[in-house]
Structures are given as C-alpha cells and as structure tokens.
Chains A and B, each alone.
Chain A
C-alpha cells in the first residue's frame, strides 16, 4: 500500500546537475538558508528504501551495459568467449555500411529478415523510416556495441530530425557522418559533421553569411560538441567562430554540402588560442576545418567527451580519475574513439558499476523486445502507430530530442510519472502483440521445456529469461499476487499460456528490468 507519506518523503535531488548534493547543502547552509528536508529521519512512519541487489556476474553486467538488452543467447556467447574477446569482435570490424541499401533510405546492416520487412513498406517517411531502422538495428542487429556508440554520437551531435528543413537530410547524416566515423577519430567525425547538410540546416549555419553571421552553430559547436560551456570562451570567441563558419552551406538544388566563398566573412579571427588571418574567401573552408581540428584536439574537448562517455558506460556521477585517464587516452590516440572505449570498459570502475545505470526508454524498449524474443513483423509500419510512435510515447524516439544537447543520460532526468506509466503500458502492449511492426509473443518458446509445474516455478522461469537469475522474494510475491495465484498452485499448459503474457509484462515493469 502506498501512503501519502510517499509524497511527503524527500526525493533525492538530481545529483547529476552540476555538483554533489553535499555541496548544495553546504552552500545553502552557508547562505543561512533553511535547507529543505532531505532525509526520512524526521518523519515517524517513513519507510526506508534500499537499492536493488546487483549482479556479481561480470558477463551479465557487461552485456547489459554494452548492448541494447541481454538475451540468453548473447550471454551464453559472451560467457563462452569472454568479455574481452567479445569486445574485440564487436569493435574489430565495422558493419558494411552499404551492404543493404533499401531504396533511397538509409543503409541497413541487418539480418536479412529485417531488411526485407523494411523494404516492404509502401509509404516511406524519411524520419520515421530512420527511427524504425535505428530501432531494428538495436533490437535485432548483431552489431550491438557499434549501435551503442552510434547512438552515443547521434545524441552528442544531436539533430532534431523532424524539423521540416532537416528531415530530408538526417538519413544521410546518419550514414555518412555518424555511422561512418563512430569507431574512427572524433576529429574526422566532427569534420564530417560540419559539412553535413542536416547539421548546417539544423543549427542555422546554412543561412549564415557575411556581415551578420548567425551564431547558432558556432555557440553549440563550442558548448555542446567540443570544449564545453566552462572552457573559458567568451562572446567574442563565439562571434569569431560564427564568422569562420560562414559560407558552409547547403546547395539548394542538390541538397548537398557546398562552400560559398561570397558568403564567407574574411578578416582575422581568434577562438580561444586558435588564430587565423582568414584573408582569402576561397580558403574559408580550410580555415573552418582548421578550427574544427583545433577544437577536436583541445584538452577541454577531451575532458568533455570523456565525461559523457563515462556517464554513458559507467555511472551517472563520473569519477574524476576515470574521466582524466580517459581524456588522456583520447589525446594520446589522436582523438581515436576505440581506445577510449576500451580504456573505460576495461577499468575497475566499469567492473564495479553494476546497478549504477538505469535504462532510458529506448534501451528499455529494445531490451524488452530482445528478452521476450519478439521478431519483426512481416511488414514494418512507418506512419501512424507502431514502433516509431511507441518510442515517441516512451519519450525517446531516435533523433526526436528538440534541442541540440541531446537526450540526457542520468536516471534522475528520466524519473517521472509519465515516463514510468508509458513503460508499464508499453510492456503490456508488447506482450499483447499490440505494437505494429513487432511480431506477437511466442509464449511457448519463451517458457521453454520442461513446462513448470507450479505458478511459482513459472514466475521463476520467466524471471530468469527476462531480468536475470533469481527473482527477489518481494518481486516474486508481487507478480504472483498480480496474477492472483499462490506460488504452489499447479499449472497446466493452457494456464501457462494464459499467464505468461501477464507475468512477462509485470516482470518487465519491475525495478529489476530497468537496470542497464
């Protein structure tokens, strides 16, 4: 029974914002401010809360953290060859980007059945198509770590794809910028990004010219893409960076990148410690690319990217030491991305971080689909309902974040009633086969043989498949209550068939099923 004390109880404030809670309290106390109650100690009947037990299985931890959802097959595979060899396998070869191209749409390095499903779509919408393809690669593709890194860079160089002046360009950005360089160097990735029509349109640079340059892209290039907001640059630096970027635009006829010297603002420029005489309009693109390289190699960029990668892979509160060492690896490797990933994943902090990350909605959805063993429906829908709108309702459709800072990656940022309810309902929809584009649940296969003899055994079996080895006692009891069955109740095949979807939806709604 939830009581109103739940509401009156203090919630832990969002720690990720900029500093530890303690410093917030210290600062408030120093200012003579009455500090809001932040513990339950004073409330007589307030319940105590404990963290979930975490797995001590390093393989399960690594697979959960580095994929879009653990499946029994993937866990078995990684257990057989070891985490390190799996990582080599995943990072060693890039998928063939152009292996399966469907019409004018994005490349789809996918199992054949999925590509066929995408190809069968009659009415194509460039953005929803790309969203569905992105989901399909994450849920059903074999290149799990690659997809994870692609997602990271898509979000770092976030582009709100549904904007009318961007929507036709994002698929090309996805293929030629993010996917092409996800495992390469950041310098190359950024160099491609500043010449990406989608980015130039999104951040208004395509229209920026001459005497009144548009500062939008310049500011986000510094603040979000490279050195970060506290790197010490000023409005002058932003203005000069905007001048440097003038002329980088999109050819209105072809939709391709073009550089227009007549739009380029010439004259000496300085951004942080980088300078250029910038005298020749014909050399403006070279000047811009020189600034981009300078920024990619800047120590503040190294620190910024390392912080975000550690937050993605290890913890909502990245440790100073791991960020510093990852930043060093980044600079020593000439901005190469794979060594940084290996460094972070190989760290003791990564190994000790089980339970420290919560899935965001996209990862939760793919993980649920993978754990349930759901297959793509023969036809992947594009418009109206289906996968894209489910992701939209969950709050994390790919390329759907409206601002250029990308989706947040901390548990606190996603903890809301709307977000929770949408997960619970998406779990129900998945087991009921109600998401168009995703096939129905094959309960018999999920349960497997021999058939469990009791309701309790059925819950244990499904928990093992969906959330990990042994369910918490309270979870087991809750699920049994949810299906109105005592643990020892004998179950036959028909009852198992009826109960399986209900039990699966409850397990996927559990706190255990949110762990990344």
Chain B
C-alpha cells in the first residue's frame, strides 16, 4: 500500500510496516540509501508516540486558560479580566476551562485531555528570552548545555532507518530541536519545492547538492537538510490534503500549521516529533474578559486549532501526545492597563490517547497572598516533571538524566506506559 495514503493505521505493527514501506518507497525514488549500520536500529525496537509540542510564546496566563473558579482570591485580583463562573466550563470542584477552549471539552470528558496547573520552571526568571531559552534547552538558565531537550531525547533514543526528521512549522526550528538529531522547518508542505521549470528541477537540485558537498558550517548543513526535505516532501506536496470529514481547521497560521503536521503524520512516513508556535501571549494590556476581547480570541484560536487537529488524527490520536507549554505564567493581580505582567506558574495542556485525562494535576496552594511568591502563582510542578514522564512512558525514552540533566523528574502518573 502507498505510504502516503491518508488512511489511518492505529495498530502499532501496522505503523511500523508502513514506516518501512515509506522508507522503501523513498529509496525507490532514489532518495534514501542505507544509513550507517551502527546507527540504524541503535535503540532496538522501542516504540514511541508522535510528540507534538505547541509553544505558547510570550508567557501564557494559566489563570485565564484554566481559572481557579472556587478560589476567592481570583476575582478579587482580577475584577476586570477574570473568567467568571458563569462563563467558564466547570471541570471539577476548583477549576474551570476558559470558554475559548470549549472545543476541547469532549477530550476532557473522554479522559484524553489532562491539565497540569501551577506548572513552570522552578528555576524561573521573568525574562522572556532567558526563560524561553532555558525551557527549550530543558536545563536551568545557567547550565551551559546548548542542545535542546527534544534533540537530546531523539539522539539518546537513537535514529532508525526511515525515521522522519523532527518537523518544525515555521521559518526556523525552535531551540528544543538544536543539536545533532535531524530537523526540518517548513512553512507549508505544498511549498517545499525549488521554483524552476519542471524540466530544470533535477539538474538544479543536483547542482545545489554538489556545490554544498563537503562545505562546513550551519548554512551548509541546512542546505543539505533542505535537499533531503525536497525529496521527502515530493510525494506529499503534489496531493491535496483532505482532512477527515467534518474537520474544519481554523484558517489562521496556527490552524494551518497543525493541518501541515496532520498531513505528514497521516501520510505514515515515520514522523516522530513536530513543533509549532502560537504567539501573542504577552498580555500586558487590554486583555478584555471571557465574554470577548483579545485574550478570548487568542484562547479560542488555541482551542479550535487543537480540537481540529486531534479530531483529524482520528485513531492516530491513540499514539500521539500533544503538549502545550509556555515560558512562564503571569502575575496574579491585573495591572493598571487591563493586563497582567510576567509571573511564574502557568498551566499545561496534555492531550493524547495515552494520557490519563479528565483531571487537573499539580499541587494547588491557592491565590491567598500568603501562598503567592512575590505576587506570583508559585511553581509547584516543574515542567520537566511532565515532559520527563512523557519521555519515559510515551516516547520510548531512555535516560532522563540525558534529557533533563539538572532536574530529576517527579512523575505525576498522568500517562500510561506505552
């Protein structure tokens, strides 16, 4: 069967066969030669989920995404921007879901969506750039490790014949993919082509390959990856992608990006990791409230996009883990401009077939002033506790000390062992 059929294949053996079939087909196109035997199958027969990392850039306000409705301090601190009990979707006795996340409610109900609250970098800073950088690398800010946590995971687990490189939607891969494991960044699957006349394509790509052969440097490495991407995407880009019947992706960049990921995932080419950003969370002013306004629009984009993606994956969701993260949360008290400044604890969404969903994880110490840290929601769960468990239980992960060298993850038991 064609590896690019948009037919789902939830069964693991099937996935594996299709992965190999995909490799064979690519080899048939003259694209793939056998990798060095030492590296091939280095990790044996470990299996892992497709990991989709969604980065909410700017410092997402966890107290809006998952408001603590029953906490008396909440609306006191946020009289103008707080989500009111009547607006929120009640999750449990304490928390609600922002109405913009309503499309995700079915996944909560059938226990595939979990939430971790008061989560963040326990070594945190309020600088966007330092916090983001540390979190991408998965280490404390002062630790001199330049590779990203996803890259260390992929490298430690070993690369196999037919593995698709990590896929980053956008112009540049995020810091989490920095390092030796291969990655590709694309804006649109359809546009992965050199725009020359058809009859010039082969000689042009050949010429590009030859002029970069043997040349050192980041740009030359990227050129080689680009040539590889051109071949890998050739069979995908010429077929229009049809999402599952009834799935309508939002047309914003986030929805379009998720659609690209679904297209590659459903083609069965062995995609392991995909990353995607949703920016705009640096809400210092004019957030509006849950009845409308800037924050509600942004949260709605997140909810609509993720729900469309999860539904489009269909049975593949059983072997997919989607996680959202952000560099920090925001201050508990609103500021004078109807916004919230940089804070600490935020919330993560974890969605997938192997997630013990329908539950808010983490330790909630409340918004009472005595429990706040400098006016911030205290980080009671390190983000690496969540990612570490996913690496271990869903991603066939080996050594957590390699992936997170200066944090020993304390598992929350939010995922089943794959």
Q: Would B128 and A403 count as touching, CB distance under 8 A?
A: yes
Q: Would B126 and A36 count as touching, CB distance under 8 A?
A: no
Q: Would A19 and B185 count as touching, CB distance under 8 A?
A: no
Q: Would A6 and B285 count as touching, CB distance under 8 A?
A: no
Q: Would A208 and B219 count as touching, CB distance under 8 A?
A: no
Q: Which residue of B lies closest to A48 (CB)?
A: B214
Q: Would B336 and A212 count as touching, CB distance under 8 A?
A: yes
Interface string of B10-21 (1 = CB under 8 A from A): 000000000000
For B1, what are the chain A residues with a Cβ–Cβ distance below 8 Å?
A: none
Binds A, one of B113-121, B175-183, B318-326, B347-355: B175-183
Interface string of A1-39 (1 = CB under 8 A from B): 111111111111111011101011001100111101110
A412 to B218, CA, bound (A): 5
- Residue from the set A23, A416, A506 with the largest chain B CB neighbour count within 10 Å: A416
For B179, what are the chain A residues with a Cβ–Cβ distance below 8 Å?
A: 11, 13, 36
Q: Identify A418's interface contact among B147, B185, B196, CB under 8 A.
A: B185
A18 to B130, CA, bound (A): 10
A249 to B210, CA, bound (A): 56
A24-B145, A419-B172 in contact; A219/B126 too (CB < 8 A)? yes
For A100, what are the chain B residues with a Cβ–Cβ distance below 8 Å?
A: none
For B405, what are the chain A residues with a Cβ–Cβ distance below 8 Å?
A: 28, 31, 33
A4-B35, A52-B215 in contact; A13/B147 too (CB < 8 A)? yes
For A511, what are the chain B residues with a Cβ–Cβ distance below 8 Å?
A: 211-212, 215, 217, 219-220, 223
Within the complex, what minimum Cβ distance (angstroms) separates B153 from chain A?
10
From 169 to 220 in chain B, residues with beta carbon under 8 angstroms from any chain A beta carbon are 170-173, 175, 178-180, 182, 184-187, 191-192, 194-196, 200, 203-204, 206-220
Residue A380 at the chain B interface, CB threshold 8 Å: no
Interface string of A189-221 (1 = CB under 8 A from B): 000000000000001100111111111100100
- Residue from the set A18, A44, A214, A421 with the largest chain B CB neighbour count within 10 Å: A421
A48 to B216, CA, bound (A): 8
For A420, what are the chain B residues with a Cβ–Cβ distance below 8 Å?
A: 219, 222-223, 225-226
Q: Which residue of B lies closest to A42 (CB)?
A: B38
Within the complex, what minimum Cβ distance (angstroms) separates B294 from chain A?
10
For B143, what are the chain A residues with a Cβ–Cβ distance below 8 Å?
A: 27
Q: Would B336 and A395 count as touching, CB distance under 8 A?
A: no
A506 to B223, CA, bound (A): 13
A1 to B30, CA, bound (A): 10
Q: Would A479 and B211 count as touching, CB distance under 8 A?
A: yes
Q: Would B217 and A51 count as touching, CB distance under 8 A?
A: yes
A6-B228, A8-B159, A481-B207 in contact; A214/B401 too (CB < 8 A)? no
Q: Identify A415's interface contact among B126, B184, B186, B222, CB under 8 A.
A: B222
Q: Would B399 and A34 count as touching, CB distance under 8 A?
A: yes
Q: Would A7 and B401 count as touching, CB distance under 8 A?
A: no
Residue A229 at the chain B interface, CB threshold 8 Å: yes
Residue A255 at the chain B interface, CB threshold 8 Å: no
A425 to B201, CA, bound (A): 12
Q: Would A223 and B127 count as touching, CB distance under 8 A?
A: yes
Q: Would B228 and A482 count as touching, CB distance under 8 A?
A: no
Residue A91 at the chain B interface, CB threshold 8 Å: no
Q: Would A23 and B144 count as touching, CB distance under 8 A?
A: yes
Residue A134 at the chain B interface, CB threshold 8 Å: no
For B220, what are the chain A residues with a Cβ–Cβ distance below 8 Å?
A: 49, 511
From 34 to 89 in chain B, residues with beta carbon under 8 angstroms from any chain A beta carbon are 34-36, 38-39, 57-58
From 313 to 345 in chain B, residues with beta carbon under 8 angstroms from any chain A beta carbon are 333-339, 341-342
Q: Would B401 and A31 count as touching, CB distance under 8 A?
A: yes
A214-B336, A421-B194 in contact; A13/B146 too (CB < 8 A)? yes
A213 to B339, CA, bound (A): 11
Q: Which residue of A lies closest to B40 (CB)?
A: A8
For B100, what are the chain A residues with a Cβ–Cβ distance below 8 Å?
A: none
Q: Would B172 and A416 count as touching, CB distance under 8 A?
A: yes
A215-B342, A417-B186, A417-B229 in contact; A36/B215 too (CB < 8 A)? no
Interface string of B404-417 (1 = CB under 8 A from A): 01100000000000
For A67, what are the chain B residues with a Cβ–Cβ distance below 8 Å?
A: none
Q: Identify A4's interface contact among B33, B127, B279, B399, CB under 8 A.
A: B33
Q: Would A213 and B335 count as touching, CB distance under 8 A?
A: yes
Residue A509 at the chain B interface, CB threshold 8 Å: yes
- Residue from the set A17, A203, A413 with the largest chain B CB neighbour count within 10 Å: A17
From 368 to 404 in chain B, residues with beta carbon under 8 angstroms from any chain A beta carbon are 374, 399, 401-402
Q: Would A49 and B336 count as touching, CB distance under 8 A?
A: no
Q: Would A10 and B401 count as touching, CB distance under 8 A?
A: no
Within the complex, what minimum Cβ distance (angstroms) separates B292 from chain A?
17
From 62 to 77 in chain A, residues with beta carbon under 8 angstroms from any chain B beta carbon are none
Residue B133 at the chain A interface, CB threshold 8 Å: yes
Q: Would A395 and B178 count as touching, CB distance under 8 A?
A: no
A44 to B38, CA, bound (A): 9
Residue B98 at the chain A interface, CB threshold 8 Å: no
Q: Which residue of A lies closest to B227 (CB)?
A: A2
Q: Would A204 and B337 count as touching, CB distance under 8 A?
A: yes
A33-B401, A33-B402, A229-B129 in contact; A11/B218 too (CB < 8 A)? yes
Chain A, interface SS category = loop
Q: Would B178 and A419 count as touching, CB distance under 8 A?
A: no
Within the complex, what minimum Cβ distance (angstroms) separates A167 from chain B?
16
Residue B266 at the chain A interface, CB threshold 8 Å: no
A46 to B168, CA, bound (A): 25
For B282, what are the chain A residues with a Cβ–Cβ distance below 8 Å?
A: 216
From 122 to 179 in chain B, residues with beta carbon under 8 angstroms from any chain A beta carbon are 125-130, 133, 137, 143-147, 151-152, 155-156, 159, 161, 165, 168, 170-173, 175, 178-179
- Residue from the set A11, A13, A31 with the largest chain B CB neighbour count within 10 Å: A11
Residue A441 at the chain B interface, CB threshold 8 Å: no
For B399, what are the chain A residues with a Cβ–Cβ distance below 8 Å?
A: 33-34
A415 to B185, CA, bound (A): 10
A40 to B337, CA, bound (A): 54
A34-B399, A223-B129, A416-B185 in contact; A47/B214 too (CB < 8 A)? yes
Q: Would B180 and A50 count as touching, CB distance under 8 A?
A: no
For B336, what are the chain A residues with a Cβ–Cβ distance below 8 Å?
A: 207-214
Q: Would B36 and A46 count as touching, CB distance under 8 A?
A: yes
A15 to B133, CA, bound (A): 13
Q: Would B284 and A416 count as touching, CB distance under 8 A?
A: no
Q: Would A51 and B203 count as touching, CB distance under 8 A?
A: no
For A475, what are the chain B residues with a Cβ–Cβ distance below 8 Å?
A: 211
For B178, what are the chain A residues with a Cβ–Cβ distance below 8 Å?
A: 13-14
A110 to B223, CA, bound (A): 35
Residue B221 at the chain A interface, CB threshold 8 Å: yes
Q: Which residue of A lies closest to B32 (CB)?
A: A4
Within the complex, what minimum Cβ distance (angstroms) separates A423 from chain B?
9
A23 to B139, CA, bound (A): 15
Residue A102 at the chain B interface, CB threshold 8 Å: no
Q: Would B180 and A484 count as touching, CB distance under 8 A?
A: no
Residue B224 at the chain A interface, CB threshold 8 Å: yes
16 A-B interface contacts by CB (under 8 A): A2-B209, A7-B35, A7-B159, A13-B147, A23-B144, A36-B179, A36-B180, A51-B216, A402-B279, A414-B218, A416-B171, A422-B171, A425-B195, A428-B195, A477-B210, A510-B211
Q: Which residues of A contact B (CB under 8 A)?
A: 1-15, 17-19, 21, 23-24, 27-28, 31-34, 36-38, 42-52, 203-204, 207-216, 219, 223-224, 229, 235, 238, 358, 395, 402-403, 405, 411-422, 424-425, 428-429, 474-475, 477-479, 481-484, 502, 506, 509-511, 514
Q: Which residues of B contact A (CB under 8 A)?
A: 32-36, 38-39, 57-58, 125-130, 133, 137, 143-147, 151-152, 155-156, 159, 161, 165, 168, 170-173, 175, 178-180, 182, 184-187, 191-192, 194-196, 200, 203-204, 206-230, 279, 282, 284-286, 333-339, 341-342, 374, 399, 401-402, 405-406
**Which 10 A-B residue pairings sit nearest by Cβ, starting from the closest?**
A482-B207, A207-B337, A415-B218, A49-B216, A478-B210, A7-B182, A212-B336, A415-B222, A478-B211, A204-B284
Given A209-B336, A411-B218, A474-B214, 19 extra CB contacts under 8 A? A2-B228, A4-B35, A4-B228, A8-B159, A10-B180, A17-B146, A36-B147, A214-B284, A214-B335, A219-B127, A224-B129, A403-B129, A415-B218, A415-B221, A418-B172, A419-B172, A474-B210, A502-B200, A506-B204
